[in-house]
Structure 1
């Protein structure tokens, strides 16, 4: 089988982009705070992040290490909020290195990715907090695991708190 390096690169870009999309789904599951959803979100985080990933909630904060530390941060934040919805927008991936075998399988690689995020956080006071930001990621192809985010920094660009129609809200003080 002949391998086209450009086709392998296109596939790698798509796989890298899906990491952040899967992360958004996991974060929204974890935010519901049910044991089943937390377990599902944890499993996704472990498939998205390297075991020793360095994860920063803001550029000026110390990095948390690993997917479980990030999960704890999300759980702590969700105690003060209701459900969330993380929408991943523009994604820019730059493949820095890519090694493929004769079967066109990626055996090693590094990339960087920027992903815009718009995250809606339902608050318990009938309002919604809208967070606009960018995730800056370093990504590596980990042997026998595939692409994993090895470093993340989340940078807020803007934010706003709005009133929300009561019929829509699910958060409560209980």
Structure 2
């Protein structure tokens, strides 16, 4: 991959930008989708991030007829992808990692389309909720991202090759936190 990674301080307008785009998506797609969520670092108050809003649309099936409507809103489909599989998690079926990815240029948005109840759909929401509720984990994660961007500003592959397994460690804390919430 070739792109420069730049982590910037938290921008309060990320929430408003998400809200505006989410409303357009909900209006356009209606009952073709289950929910729209603000995910990723821009969804965590105070979290430094790349200046790209991550959104997740949850659907019943990846075959949901949404591409045409998203393209009318300016989104471009970049493909069908497999999300990162945490080490040792061979129990996760391939379908639990599959997603469609769309991008919007202005404002910059990555739109992840995932299936309700799939591992990757739940992972993204748990990640957000855990970092919102646990400021020390959020601060540690922010520092990891800043250091990775500092040392690998032009190597997206290296950035994610290190960030993903480090984040898997953070997510172990998220699973324990969720268990306590569910008691």
What's the TM-score bracket when you normalise by the shorter of the two chains? under 0.3
Larger-Rg structure? 1
Higher strand share: 1
Q: TM-score w.r.t. structure 2 length?
A: 0.23
